[in-house]
């Protein structure tokens, strides 16, 4: 009898859980569409009022996710006797909601309210500070945000380092203990490699990008390559925004944006390929996960691995341009008249220390992240305070990249992340590169013809491998489970270090170390 | 003491009512955006799943509108002692929600459920029937829909005629008793006028529209005129769809669509002007009504009056083309090389009995509506059955327009309305024309320079008049209250009859009657 009533209650809980999951996913899908629309389509006069409408729906999603009903259902599905009745897929769904529910519940409502208001105001202060190159305008907000984040870390709890509690929001399960040696190795090898390139590298013909490239032609070329590299245009779109992004409405509706600059042809080109990497991840998720919380990439880092894999490992490879360069030359016959394939390949792989993260090349990009990671970690641990940031920032830029920002606008104020409280976010970008290189190693083992597939435009074969091995799973596995499943081992920095060494030795004709 | 507790409870009810109203309006605004997006922007593979998400949000709006909380609040605000505490604006809001609440509550949930499933399926059946020119495919669904509508009419209640209960959904307060003489007069005079035109009218140069007009140039011209005629492009957009429509997200975000056909330049041109009429009504609503149920036009008929006023009374006037024809000739110098302003004006006002309502001219359009109105009214009254429709349809087409549809696809099956249960909708179109002519008469009195304003492109003055006298009120007044307020009298068919007589006498150089 008890057994039966137990089973009964699992069935009940599952039914309620499914209904909640579906409603939350439906509402989130609409919120996603609304966000895309407001950035890409909406006329300006309606946006303020619409933001309130979207806020109402977002609040509804939050309320459902932390409702008593959700709490009861999660509790019912988490009892030891019920837990082992659940299948893997349901367990993963419960895990996702439980993490969010528990985190939200540990923060007192009042504290969360204050924090939400603060981050709302902080964005304006950050914009003003950046525009006026005056860190002190942003400082009081940043100080408070750091205070809150330190409090949250204590409330969420952690084993070794308070920053772990924040990292976990972006890369579930990741800790400083794991990340420190990975990033240290990457940083040291990158600094050395950069040095060698700067002192012994043969110059590339990067000046070919200083010419004007017609925006209309750029658009045509971007729309031309997108389906070839595997993005399904019947399940997505490509539009224009100042800040490119990928937005999922559902598996059959993934929208990319890019930015066309007449005097920077690389911006749209690699931006589009990057976003397409994010987009295809989402397009390839198992349709059985549709209308559920699993219908999305598993973490910021894994997501970024897919965009960077496509942008850099594929899109900046010699083979990629062996396939696409003849077409590109047809679009820009004047600009590329005397530019050989090799010239072009080397030019798109130019390494140049620069101040702004989002404009950095594949090698120095990680050094920008190291600056931010080390700052965030120490800041949360209380090793220094927000007021010390400009000085520390500039010192680290000098140490790793050999340049010192002349202004805070081009230094510590350049990124939006801290203003919305996204401390713990930055590591995802370099994690993406680490994951990508490790996946590249595996793919090259399993598809020995990898390079020739790219050279022959058989991106479908590569995407199919990614779909089967990574994309289809959505949030079924945690990032760590997934990387072990795909590559047979935990995250290892050696692959990225070797990849960068090998690539730039060739691009810059470096002598042996 | 009692007085105090009474006041207290009004304050409480008002607070809850405001919160509910805002939430419903926010969600409806997002539903509106989502509907626009799925028709205009969404890639095809995501639409089916997204339809479920949008359905979830639409259901939430419905649930909130008929919730016990809403019922209690409406009851509290409707007690005699509380009612006279409310201001006019709040009273109008209560009226709007109460009407919907009461109607929804009169239909048993089960019956409504069955009906919703039926209309879902009926659309597919209608499409198939139309595609295969086979009325019998649609008939079983139509029979059931008519049954339900007859039941609903009984449940909603009416004084004289069951069709009144259905009319009320589209034009609150309107009855057969009021409409019959208006429509009879319009029908009789239109049939006579059509006859005179066909027998004594001088032919127009309608063949100028048989030439190809570049779609690109059409687009440019449409985008050129839209802001001039008063549509605020910072508070709206113009896109393309197969079936043109206007969709409001909020007062600052009103989106129009149009359809460009190379071989029918009139389609996009007058379609855009028509939708702009709807759009400007919504753009001009008092911003104090934003985020409330009043933030929309007051009825289908009044809404249609604004689109038809702009499309026909303004957009097909001699003065309109006196202003715009030189520009149009620059866009299409070849097509319009030997076409004078007068030729063009007469050509856009060509009268030609045709089978399809949406392609009909300004005069015969109303006769298409008369066919549908008379059929719907008699059908709901049980004077005949759905199976008799093709025969009756064809007979009426012959009687009023002098043509008999060769197929049901071009006859009784041409419109989507019945498949979604929209019986009572069609009269709105001709009501729009009646209201528009009556408003024209008033505007010509109050702005004696009306014609010269159009001739000089001073559409801003005309729109300002419409804004102040009609648009700003949103749903504050019922349609009947509004037309009396604006024109000083109830709806009167004489104005449209005179307007048509006068216009076509000139266009076709008709002798006196």
The residue-averaged pLDDT of B415-432 equals 97
**Distance between CA atoms of residues B268 and B215, nearest Å:** 9
State the pLDDT confidence band at B82, using cuts at 50, 70 and 90.
confident
A262-274: per-residue pLDDT in tens?
999 999 999 999 9
B193-214: per-residue pLDDT in tens?
999 999 999 999 999 999 999 9
Place of tokens 């008793």: B177
Beta strands at A253-258 and A246-250: parallel, antiparallel or unpaired: antiparallel
Q: Is the dihedral of CA B231, B236, B242, B245 positive or negative?
A: negative
Place of tokens 């919907």: B100
The residue-averaged pLDDT of B179-184 equals 98
Continuous segment of H or E residues that includes residue B254:
strand B253-258
| Rg, C-alpha atoms of chain B | 24
A269-290: per-residue pLDDT in tens?
999 999 999 999 999 999 999 9
B44 pLDDT exceeds 90?
yes
The domains of chain B are located at 176-507
Place of tokens 């009572």: B424
B103-146: per-residue pLDDT in tens?
999 988 889 889 989 998 999 999 999 999 999 999 999 999 99
Question: Which residues in A lie closer than 8 A to residue B47 (C-beta atoms)?
Answer: 252-253
**Distance between CA atoms of residues A87 and B199, nearest Å:** 79
A4 pLDDT exceeds 50?
no
Cβ neighbours of residue B292 closer than 8 Å, sequence gap 6 or more? B21, B22, B25, B93
**Cα A468 from chain centroid (whole Å):** 21
Q: Is A238 helix (H, G, I), strand (E, B) or coil?
A: strand
C-beta separation of B25 from B295 below 8 A? yes
Q: Which of A30, A42, A49 sits opposite B57 (nearest CB)?
A: A30
Least Cα distance to B316 among B363, B279, B382, B253 occurs for B363
Q: Which of B42, B56, B252 sits opposite A45 (nearest CB)?
A: B252
State the pLDDT confidence band at A331, using cuts at 50, 70 and 90.
very high
B396 pLDDT exceeds 70?
yes
C-beta separation of A201 from A508 below 8 A? yes
Question: A247's torsion region: left (phi>0), alpha (psi -120 to 50) or beta?
Answer: beta
The residue-averaged pLDDT of A247-276 equals 97
Angle at A322 between CA A316 and CA A326, to 5 degrees: 110
Place of tokens 């024109």: B487
Place of tokens 């030729």: B343
Question: Which residues in B lie closer than 8 A to residue A235 (C-beta atoms)?
Answer: 43, 45-46
* Number of other CB atoms surrounding residue B290 within 10 Å: 18
Return the structure tokens found at B275: 């939708």
State the pLDDT confidence band at A8, using cuts at 50, 70 and 90.
low
Least Cα distance to A175 among A373, A415, A308 occurs for A373
Torsion of CA B298, B300, B306, B309, to 10 degrees: -140
Phi, psi (5° rounding) for residue B426?
-50, -40
State the pLDDT confidence band at B9, using cuts at 50, 70 and 90.
confident
- Looking at CATH, the fold of the domain delimited by A176-507 is given as 1.10.1370
Q: Which of A45, A56, A290 sits opposite B235 (nearest CB)?
A: A45
Question: Which residues in B lie closer than 8 A to residue A249 (C-beta atoms)?
Answer: 42, 46, 50
C-beta separation of B316 from B289 below 8 A? no
Q: What ipTM did this prediction achieve?
A: 0.92
Return the structure tokens found at B190: 């239109």
C-beta separation of A301 from A170 below 8 A? yes
Angle at B15 between CA B13 and CA B19, to 5 degrees: 115
**Distance between CA atoms of residues A57 and A114, nearest Å:** 20
**Cα B365 from chain centroid (whole Å):** 13
State the pLDDT confidence band at A512, using cuts at 50, 70 and 90.
low
Percent of chain B with pLDDT over 70: 98
Q: Do B30 and A30 touch (CB under 8 A)?
A: yes
Active site residue B376: no
The residue-averaged pLDDT of B413-421 equals 95
Q: Do B48 and A252 touch (CB under 8 A)?
A: yes
Q: Do A33 and B23 touch (CB under 8 A)?
A: no
Q: Could you report how far apart the first and last alpha carbons of chain B are, in Å? A: 73
Return the structure tokens found at B386: 């759905």
State the pLDDT confidence band at B4, using cuts at 50, 70 and 90.
very low
Averaged confidence pLDDT in chain B: 95
State the pLDDT confidence band at B8, using cuts at 50, 70 and 90.
low
The residue-averaged pLDDT of B341-350 equals 98
**Distance between CA atoms of residues B267 and B8, nearest Å:** 57
C-beta separation of B466 from B450 below 8 A? no
State the pLDDT confidence band at B3, using cuts at 50, 70 and 90.
very low
Phi, psi (5° rounding) for residue B116?
-65, -40
Q: Could you tell me how many CB contacts below 8 A there are between chain A and chain B?
A: 125
Q: Do A234 and B52 touch (CB under 8 A)?
A: no
Chain B nearest-CA residue for A60 = B23
B431-478: per-residue pLDDT in tens?
999 999 999 999 999 999 999 999 999 999 999 999 999 999 999 999
Chain A nearest-CA residue for B36 = A37
Q: Do A26 and B57 touch (CB under 8 A)?
A: yes
Averaged confidence pLDDT in chain A: 95
B320-340: per-residue pLDDT in tens?
999 999 999 999 999 999 999
Q: Do B37 and A42 touch (CB under 8 A)?
A: no
B355 pLDDT exceeds 60?
yes
pLDDT of residue A83: 82
How near does any CA of chain A get to the CA of B256, in Å?
12
| Rg, C-alpha atoms of chain A | 24
Q: Do A48 and B252 touch (CB under 8 A)?
A: yes
Question: B120 to each of B54, B386, B418, how far by Cα in Å?
Answer: 15, 19, 12
A367 pLDDT exceeds 60?
yes
Return the structure tokens found at B254: 């009103």
Total-model pTM: 0.94
pLDDT of residue A2: 40
**Distance between CA atoms of residues A83 and A77, nearest Å:** 6
Under an 8 Å CB criterion, which residues of A touch B? 22-23, 25-27, 29-30, 33-34, 37, 41-50, 52-54, 56-57, 60, 232-237, 249-254, 290-291
**Distance between CA atoms of residues A510 and B337, nearest Å:** 70
Least Cα distance to B474 among B336, B293, B258, B326 occurs for B293
pLDDT of residue B512: 67
Helices (H), A239-317: 265-283, 300-308
Least Cα distance to A308 among A275, A354, A268 occurs for A275
**Distance between CA atoms of residues B218 and B215, nearest Å:** 5
Q: Do B237 and A43 touch (CB under 8 A)?
A: yes
The residue-averaged pLDDT of B78-90 equals 91
Residues in chain B: 513
pLDDT of residue B513: 60
Residues in chain A: 513
Q: Is A57 helix (H, G, I), strand (E, B) or coil?
A: helix
Return the structure tokens found at A367: 């050094």
pLDDT of residue B2: 40
Return the structure tokens found at B110: 């089960």
Q: Which of B23, B251, B290 sits opposite A56 (nearest CB)?
A: B23
**Distance between CA atoms of residues B232 and B146, nearest Å:** 42
B5 pLDDT exceeds 50?
no
How near does any CA of chain B get to the CA of A9, in Å?
26
A321 pLDDT exceeds 90?
yes
B218-235: per-residue pLDDT in tens?
999 999 999 999 999 999
Return the structure tokens found at B400: 């009023």
A6 pLDDT exceeds 90?
no
pLDDT of residue B113: 86
Q: Do A237 and B43 touch (CB under 8 A)?
A: yes
pLDDT of residue A120: 84
B7 pLDDT exceeds 80?
no
What count of Cα atoms within 13 Å lies in the side-chain half-sphere of residue A291? Answer: 18
Beta strands in A319-441 (DSSP E): none
The residue-averaged pLDDT of B290-313 equals 98
**Distance between CA atoms of residues A154 and A141, nearest Å:** 20
Least Cα distance to B344 among B328, B359, B330 occurs for B328
**Distance between CA atoms of residues B387 and A406, nearest Å:** 83
Q: Is A237 helix (H, G, I), strand (E, B) or coil?
A: strand
A16 pLDDT exceeds 80?
yes
B379 pLDDT exceeds 80?
yes
Chain B nearest-CA residue for A29 = B53
A194-211: per-residue pLDDT in tens?
999 999 999 999 999 999
Instruction: Name the active-site residue from B96, B169, B171, B275.
Output: B275
How near does any CA of chain B get to the CA of A302, in Å?
24
Cβ neighbours of residue A118 closer than 8 Å, sequence gap 6 or more? A141, A144, A145, A148
């Amino acid at each position: 009898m008890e057994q039966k009533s137990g089973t009964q209650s699992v069935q009940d809980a599952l039914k309620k859980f499914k209904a909640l999951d579906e409603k939350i996913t439906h509402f989130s899908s609409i919120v996603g569409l609304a966000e895309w629309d407001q950035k890409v389509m909406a006329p300006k006069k309606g946006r303020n009022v619409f933001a309130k409408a979207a806020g109402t729906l977002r609040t509804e999603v939050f309320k459902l996710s932390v409702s008593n009903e959700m709490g009861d259902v999660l509790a019912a599905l988490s009892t030891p006797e019920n837990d082992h009745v659940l299948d893997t897929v349901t367990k993963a769904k419960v895990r996702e909601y439980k993490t969010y529910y528990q985190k939200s519940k540990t923060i007192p409502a009042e504290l969360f309210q204050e924090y939400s208001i603060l981050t709302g105001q902080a964005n304006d202060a950050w914009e003003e500070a950046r525009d006026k190159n005056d860190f002190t305008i942003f400082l009081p907000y940043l100080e408070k945000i750091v205070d809150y984040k330190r409090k949250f870390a204590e409330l969420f709890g952690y084993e070794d380092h308070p920053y772990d509690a924040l990292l976990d929001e972006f890369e579930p399960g990741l800790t400083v203990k794991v990340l420190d040696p990975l990033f240290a190795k990457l940083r040291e090898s990158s600094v050395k490699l950069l040095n060698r390139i700067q002192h012994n590298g043969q110059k590339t013909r990067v000046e070919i990008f200083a010419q004007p490239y017609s925006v209309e032609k750029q658009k045509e070329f971007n729309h031309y390559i997108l389906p070839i590299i595997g993005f399904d245009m019947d399940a997505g779109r490509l539009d224009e925004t100042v800040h490119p992004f990928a937005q999922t409405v559902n598996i059959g509706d993934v929208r990319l944006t890019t930015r066309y600059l007449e005097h920077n042809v690389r911006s749209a080109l690699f931006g589009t390929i990057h976003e397409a990497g994010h987009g295809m991840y989402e397009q390839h998720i198992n349709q059985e996960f549709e209308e559920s919380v699993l219908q999305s990439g598993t973490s910021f880092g894994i997501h970024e691995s897919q965009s960077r894999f496509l942008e850099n490992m594929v899109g900046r490879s010699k083979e990629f341009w062996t396939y696409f360069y003849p077409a590109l030359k047809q679009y820009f016959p004047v600009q590329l008249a005397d530019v050989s394939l090799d010239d072009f390949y080397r030019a798109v792989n130019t390494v140049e220390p620069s101040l702004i993260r989002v404009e950095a090349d594949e090698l120095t990009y990680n050094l920008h992240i190291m600056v931010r990671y080390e700052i965030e970690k120490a800041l949360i641990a209380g090793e220094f305070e927000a007021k010390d940031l400009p000085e520390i920032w500039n010192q680290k830029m000098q140490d790793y990249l050999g340049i010192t920002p002349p202004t805070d606008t081009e230094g510590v104020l350049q990124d939006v992340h801290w203003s919305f409280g996204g401390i713990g976010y930055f590591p995802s970008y370099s994690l993406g590169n680490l994951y990508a290189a490790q996946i590249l190693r595996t793919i090259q083992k399993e598809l020995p013809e990898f390079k020739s597939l790219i050279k022959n435009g058989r991106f479908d074969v590569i995407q199919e491998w990614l779909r089967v091995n990574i994309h289809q799973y959505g949030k079924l596995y945690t990032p760590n489970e997934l990387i072990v499943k795909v590559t047979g081992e935990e995250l290892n920095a050696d692959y990225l270090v070797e990849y960068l060494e090998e690539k730039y030795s060739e691009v810059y004709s470096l002598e042996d170390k």
